[in-house]
Structure 1
Amino acid sequence: MHVDAMTMPQPLLEVADLARRTQTAGFSGLLFTETGRTPYLNAAVAAQAAPGLELSTGVAVAFPRSPFVTAATAWELQEAAGGAFRLGLGTQVRTHVVRRYGVDFEHPGPRLRDYVLAVKACFAAFRTGKLDHRGDFYSLDFITPQWSPGPIDVPDPKVDIAAVNPWMLRMAGEVADGIHVHPLGEPGYIRRHVLPNRAAGAEKAGRSPDDIAVIVPVMTIVGDTDEERQRERELVRASMSFYGSTPNYAFIWDEAGFEGTTARIREKQKAGDFAGMAAQITDDHIAAFATESTWDGLADALRSKYDGVATRLVLYNALADREWFTRYGEVAQQLS
């Protein structure tokens, strides 16, 4: 099992040191989210600073960038990383895409499917000089040597997508190389939805489900005393309330036995009561959706929970503390 550390993109002058520390600590790779800073520049610096470290975007926002621009960026990163880069893409939500990025968001699922196929068509064009993708949302049919990065000596980048609902999961199984599971994706949800829908999509495309990675971010609560774990528990509670406020994810709570959680969180959110949002996440929620352990027991706890359902684990809060980062790296080595 590969184990990555998750980070928000950092100021570029800090990325090289972070990448080297991640590699030295024993993680398989470093996964960059996309927030106020873009993940691609961080990945470029990391590729130069820590050769051999696996790098991924988890996830980059797709629609504001043309498929060709995304493909060319991923192509250069794959070359720089020696074949160790994964392109993770997601739709984001309507408000961000329309009001912050200023681009269309209609039919996001089918649009992302077409986007992935367009990106892969660009990869093929960089090797062959022929670009021919005609989809429902993107049509690309012109390339010349001057405007192509040309072939590289490593395989095409893997293209992973963020998926939550059954349609998106089936689509990922059909056209993508990996699935970024949502941070609320506990093992029961993965078994009920991710694995069977991945298999259905793969069967439709004549592929093996094993060829599509399942990339799972895990929230951990670790410490050798209850006091240490309590601090972590409150950080996880706040994170879960943030993710749990999105209506599209309500069914995950409901199916796990916590019906109405999203509605209660949103009621507090509308009132601007952030402490009240976190208070809707009980210790029972945390026990079901996070992994709590002593340091000596963490590797076994993660293995027993995610063996057979995850290809890659992404440690959500490994970077919260510099000392803990080293200890998380030791756990990553045990799992890898």
Structure 2
Amino acid sequence: MVRAVRVDVMTTPQPLQSIGDLAQRTQAAGFDGMLFTETGRTPYLNAALAAQAAPGLELSTGVAVAFPRSPFVTAAMAWELQEATGGNFRLGLGTQVRTHVVRRYGVEFERPGPRLRDYVRAVKACFTAFRTGTLEHRGDFYSLDFITPQWSAGPIDAPDPKVDVAAVNPWMLRMAGEVADGVHVHPLGEPGYIARHVLPSLAEGAAKSGRSADELAIIVPVMTIVGDTDEERHRERELVRASMSFYGSTPNYAFIWDEAGFEGTTARIREKQKAGDFAGMAAQISDEHLAAFATESTWDGLADALTERYGGTATRLVLYNALSDMDRFERYGEVAQRISNS
């Protein structure tokens, strides 16, 4: 079965004075939404300004780092963004990795999977509290039981925001199926990985909470290599090669390479990484890796190629590198329109 698919553009948060123009251009190009992935700048202010500049654009954090912010603070920001977008905001949360959380943000990281599960439940308890005036959540990591009208955002004329989580390994995927509204698949999540791990693990988690996996959003970032000549595709091919080597250096993701038939890829990348050889890292990503983990096509064929690879599983496709060359941005928007309207 081919599922209806929405198409977003992925961006890191931009300087606040420029995000409005980018949101308007994104909407005019034909994308359904924007996904803000947290890096050095926070995603929530970007989403707020995008909501004002381009009403109707679907916005999400993909993902925001959860633990440095209390569940109540995160819930309040998501609530206001849901109101500002008229119900078109999704809250995407992730754990990040220990080094960033402990040494950059200065907060705890123990048992990140169970902590994120409790965090999601706490956020949803806050949503309920904004409507009812009663806050009651007691978990292993967060206990929330006090709210007054003065410190509540109050009801809004929109449904509660959907809460999605980033997940890679089977435990996290099952947790997403159990407590979240959707999952952010990793950028290395090629169709085989989705079939082997994402779909069955989400279904198992959903069944545990008495619901169907069909209720869950599957948000898939896709790396594309597109052009009508090999020369046109060469630049994107090398950008994707570098991006894959960056993600592929993480030990927790090694099994994705291995199961796809590229055993030892992570170890080879990490050897170059430790030597500071970034070109050498990228060189570990062969053309065979690219063929398996990216989608390469002509412009006319890209929409069909993405639909064929992901149409039976993804509910949202996120074009990972659509902003790598702004001269081609509108062409990516045309592809997005073809997918959404198919």
Do both proteins adopt the same fold according to a TM-score greater than 0.5, normalized to the shorter chain? yes
Who is 1:128 aligned against? Answer: 132
The separation in 2 between residues aligned to 1:77 and 1:303, in whole angstroms, is 30
Who is 1:60 aligned against? Answer: 64
The separation in 1 between residues aligned to 2:280 and 2:322, in whole angstroms, is 26
Choose which of 215, 218, 223 in structure 2 pairs with 1:214.
218
Report the count of equivalent residues.
Answer: 336
Matches within 5 A, 1:124-163: 124-163=128-167
Q: Secondary structure at the match of 1:221?
A: strand
Are 1:33 and 2:37 an aligned pair?
A: yes
Who is 1:252 aligned against? Answer: 256
Q: Secondary structure at the match of 2:299?
A: coil
Q: Give the drift of 1:323.
A: 2.3
Are 1:170 and 2:174 an aligned pair?
A: yes
Are 1:242 and 2:262 an aligned pair?
A: no
Matches within 5 A, 1:107-122: 107-122=111-126
Letter in 1 for 2:218: V
Are 1:22 and 2:26 an aligned pair?
A: yes
TM-score, structure 2 normalization: 0.98
Are 1:194 and 2:198 an aligned pair?
A: yes
Q: Secondary structure at the match of 2:34?
A: strand
Letter in 1 for 2:59: L
Q: Secondary structure at the match of 2:261?
A: coil
Who is 1:8 aligned against? Answer: 12
Choose which of 42, 50, 55 in structure 2 pairs with 1:51.
55
The separation in 2 between residues aligned to 1:307 and 1:327, in whole angstroms, is 20
> Structure 1: where are the runs of 5+ without partners?
none
RMSD after superposition = 0.4
Q: Secondary structure at the match of 2:220?
A: strand
The runs of at least 4 consecutive aligned structure 1 residues that moved more than 3 Å come to none
Q: Secondary structure at the match of 2:263?
A: coil
Q: Secondary structure at the match of 1:206?
A: coil
Q: Give the drift of 1:86.
A: 0.2
Who is 1:225 aligned against? Answer: 229
Q: Secondary structure at the match of 1:233?
A: helix
Who is 2:269 aligned against? Answer: 265
The separation in 1 between residues aligned to 2:195 and 2:275, in whole angstroms, is 35
Who is 2:303 aligned against? Answer: 299
- Per-residue CA distance 1:61-118 (angstroms, 9 max, x = gap): 0000000000000000000011000000000000000000000000000000000000
The separation in 1 between residues aligned to 2:154 and 2:22, in whole angstroms, is 31
Letter in 1 for 2:71: P
> Structure 2: where are the runs of 5+ without partners?
none
The separation in 2 between residues aligned to 1:54 and 1:142, in whole angstroms, is 32
TM-score, structure 1 normalization: 1.00
Choose which of 295, 305, 317 in structure 2 pairs with 1:313.
317
Who is 2:279 aligned against? Answer: 275
Letter in 2 for 1:49: A
The separation in 2 between residues aligned to 1:72 and 1:8, in whole angstroms, is 22
Letter in 2 for 1:82: G
- Per-residue CA distance 1:255-310 (angstroms, 9 max, x = gap): 00000000000000001000010000000000000000000000010010001111
Letter in 1 for 2:211: R
The separation in 1 between residues aligned to 2:193 and 2:138, in whole angstroms, is 35
Who is 1:96 aligned against? Answer: 100
Q: Secondary structure at the match of 1:318?
A: coil
Q: Secondary structure at the match of 1:297?
A: helix
